[in-house]
Amino acid sequence: MKPPFPSSSSSYVLRKARLSPYLFTLLVFIVFVTILYGEDIGCIFGQIDALPPRPIRTTSESTHTIRFCFWVGKLPFAIGRTPEGCDVFSGRWVRDEANRPLYEESECPYIQPQLTCQEHGRPEKDYQYWRWQPHGCDLPSFNATLMLETLRGKRMMFVGDSLNRGQYVSMVCLLHRLIPENAKSMETFDSLTVFTAKDYNATIEFYWAPFLLESNSDNAVVHRISDRIVRKGSINKHGRNWKGVDILVFNTYLWWMTGLKMKILKGSFDDEEKEIVEIPTEDAYRMAMKSMLRWVKLNMDRKKTRVFFTSMSPSHGKSIDWGGEPGKNCYNETTLIEDPNYWGSDCRKGVMRVIGEVFSRSKFPITFLNITQLSNYRKDAHTSIYKKQWNALTPEQLANPSSYADCVHWCLPGLQDTWNELLFAKLFYP
């Protein structure tokens, strides 16, 4: 039977041109899609996974959007999908004393003393009781059994700075209770820390590389260097330690924020005469992002592995940002910022734009964990003064606690457990 046609005239044209009606329909469809989604065609064929575009709210009325496109096909480890139209990174904090915290500080021996706020005298636990609630949908509950079974025979690695190490420790705390005491261990080898679940033949690892590229701050213990230098084109210096990893979680931001310019080394740190140039920080950051994506493309298998990138972690060093008293910071803060449009001055919007520009051209699926906005509300969750102090405090500091409060790192349990709930959601339900 011949397929029906809209009219005799169109049928005549098709017969005269000897063009199959099926081919004609296909061509019309392609033209329609190209016109409607022209900007996204490259993304579809480029096979990029990330989040639906959403505006990053700032303290001003202006917004900018990180634009990504979608990976076509099933991602490794996925067992479902996030409901259509659900942005798990857009939502609000809900107090939930019945289900928070997800573990007790005293139950997890792997938390560094820099993050054990209760042990170091924090008088209240309010910061532990908040649960992230996306608008219009729910986060899947963190399932430690599913996570461990997925990691059986595999490696998961967090790569970056101390904030990524905090997220790494949070992940270990969320999982270790299911593992018998004699079947787990944690060891450190220079820049690499490895938690091993022996019965699962699985490891969860952290690798210290605050710039991802080689730098003069690569010593995992002694790295407080004010004059920071990053070596161009040096991703393989650290990257050789990431090979063979099945789930990779990158972060890098804080260490780039030394000013408006960054020192870049051309050549080697071993050269007697070093060629060092200064370039705008955002250009230097773009260089690192491009290097990371090239490494991922060359060394990760998109059919078997997953790569995540965690956005900038905000600090709360200026209370005037949220309408507080000038000269103060996160010290003594126990409440959340309620303004849904709040964006702290320490979070550079230009860096978010760089991430959007570079990632949108990636040929490898990168899952972006956009934790910045939701963390911006949490001025209450920092370690502040409730942590191990490596140097004796002066009388002046003791008289003014704000002067030595840590408004960068986060107490555990706390905010970074939510980061891992989001990672869990995007790993299994992208």
CB-based contacts of 227, cutoff 8 Å, min separation 6: 216, 263
Q: Per the residue annotation, which of 90, 162, 217, 384 is the catalytic one?
A: 162
CB-based contacts of 61, cutoff 8 Å, min separation 6: none
DSSP string across 277-327: EEEEHHHHHHHHHHHHHHHHHHH--TTT-EEEEE-PPP----GGGGT--TT
d(CA 222, CA 225): 8
Question: Alpha helices of 162-280 — where are they, by DSSP H?
Answer: 162-175, 235-239
Distances (CA, A) of 126 to 94, 121, 333, 385, 413: 12, 14, 11, 16, 11
Strand partners, 187: 194
Q: Per the residue annotation, which of 218, 321, 406, 417 is the catalytic one?
A: 406
Reply yes or no on whether 64 is catalytic: no
Reply yes or no on whether 409 is catalytic: yes
For residues 382 and 410, the answer to whether their CB atoms sit within 8 Å is yes
Reply yes or no on whether 339 is catalytic: no
The backbone torsions φ and ψ at residue 104, rounded to the nearest 5 degrees and listed phi first, read: -95, 145
For residues 362 and 46, the answer to whether their CB atoms sit within 8 Å is yes
Reference 228, options 210, 240, 241; nearest CA is: 210
**Catalytically active residues, by annotation:** 162, 406, 409
